[in-house]
Amino acid sequence: MHFKRLLLLLVAAAAIAAIVVPAADALAFPDDICPVESGGTVKICPQGQTGKPYSLQIQGRDGTGCVPYVTFRAIGELPTGLSMSSSGLISGTPTQAGEWTFWIEMKDIPASEGGVFWCADSKSTERQFSITIVQGLQILQRQSTLTAAQLNTTYSLQFTAAGSTSPTWSVSAGSLPGGLTLSSSGLLSGTPTTEGDYSFKVTATEGSRSDTQTYSMSVVPKLQISIGRSAAEVGVSFQLAPQATGGKPGYTWSLDSGTALPAGLTLDTSSGAITGIPAAAGHTAVKLAVTDSLGLKTTLDVPITVVPRLLLLKKTLRTAKVGTAYNAVIAKTGGARPFKWSVRGAPQGLRFSAKAGRLIGVARAAGSFRLRVNVTDALGATATRTFVLKVVS
């Protein structure tokens, strides 16, 4: 009785197996993904382009072996930049043009390694494949933000592409700032007329190859520097405060390479102020630069003249005579024009001519007079000295 029951169970199991277990023909690769050319033996896969992502899923032919419970392995060298996963995915970004021929092994995954129960034995097949990589067309200007343009100021940018000498260029989405155009040769140029922020796509095309990049671009008022008088004086505190307008605020100040401030002066890179106490007289040509938050930069030549310190020279005044015309120079040196003079203690009949820098007139009385002379220049420097004038009869 037990023997008959066991026999019936075995027969039932065999019947079930006959229904569930598929026919396992020899493993094979399908022809639709990588077909074989007429008269050839190598399967030719879709070509790729350098610099462009490539993806190709290799599969086994349905109804062969243990498909889809199979694993793949590349034998030989794949195109540079590509690799193959155990699931049969060839992917990556090719970096070199050329033709690569290699083998692919497809192998059943046995039940002990995660396959199905009818794959007790691991069987495999190999086939030769070929992938051609052509030089891709790639726009070389990869930055997402283009240099900002300035209102009513000429703008020019030449787009270029690797893998092509003469692609056709176009704006494929968005719009350019008013006043700018993109030529078919890739020259973005013109004079912007409308302030604002813009976004657009630029496409380079040659035959079946193309590349597209998305760019943003700002148009702002022209970046400019304005500055006041830049005269300075030895030993006198100096301050020059340049102003930047236009561009996009967030300014940084600097001196262009090859220029330097006079000794004793420094530049505040955040405000642009030039301050200090000049140490020596002379003339310096400084190229002052300002850069805004968009990276726009403009420069201005700033001449800084440092004059000697204002001084009244110690000089004895010649003697004057009552009733006789008198003319004597009050000597000074240095300073910056214009000058303001004041004289106290001069005898009656004599006055000081600020325009001529002279003590002139006709003295009316004899005596010894102490003259207090003061002169102030345009930069606020002051020099004071006492002179003794003798008037005789």
Per-residue model confidence (pLDDT) at position 16: 40
The C-alpha angle 53, 57, 61, rounded to 5 degrees, equals 165
DSSP-derived 3-state class of residue 68: coil
* Closest CA relative to residue 154, chosen from 182, 184, 193, 198: 193
Q: Which residues pair with 201 in a beta bridge?
A: 173, 214
Cα separation, 127 vs 100, whole angstroms: 14
Sheet holding 187-190, edge to edge: 155-158, 187-190, 180-182
Q: Which residue has the higher pLDDT, 114 or 211?
A: 211
CATH entry, 311-392, from 3.40.1010.20, 1.10.1200.10, 2.60.40.10, 1.20.1090.10 = 2.60.40.10
Report the predicted TM-score, pTM, of the whole model to 2 decimal places.
0.66
Q: Please state which CATH number belongs to domain 138-220.
A: 2.60.40.10
Q: Concatenate the DSSP letters of all residues of 98-122 into one string.
A: EEEEEEEEEEE--GGGTS-TT--S-
224-307, CATH topology level: Immunoglobulin-like (2.60.40)
In this predicted model, what pLDDT tens digit does every residue of 175-234 receive, in sequence order? 999 999 999 999 999 999 999 999 999 999 998 899 999 999 999 999 999 998 888 999
Residue 390 burial by Cβ neighbours in a 10 Å radius (0-12, 13-18, 19+): middle
Q: pLDDT at residue 18 above 60?
A: no
Per-residue model confidence (pLDDT) at position 269: 97
Q: For the chain, what are the domain ranges?
A: 23-134, 138-220, 224-307, 311-392
Decide whether 138-220 matches 311-392 in CATH topology: yes
Residue 179 burial by Cβ neighbours in a 10 Å radius (0-12, 13-18, 19+): middle
DSSP-derived 3-state class of residue 300: strand
The mean per-residue pLDDT over the stretch 239-267 comes to 95
Do residues 346 and 369 touch, judged by C-beta distance below 8 A?
yes
Per-residue model confidence (pLDDT) at position 355: 82
Q: What is the DSSP letter of 23?
A: P
Q: Please state which CATH number belongs to domain 23-134.
A: 2.60.40.10
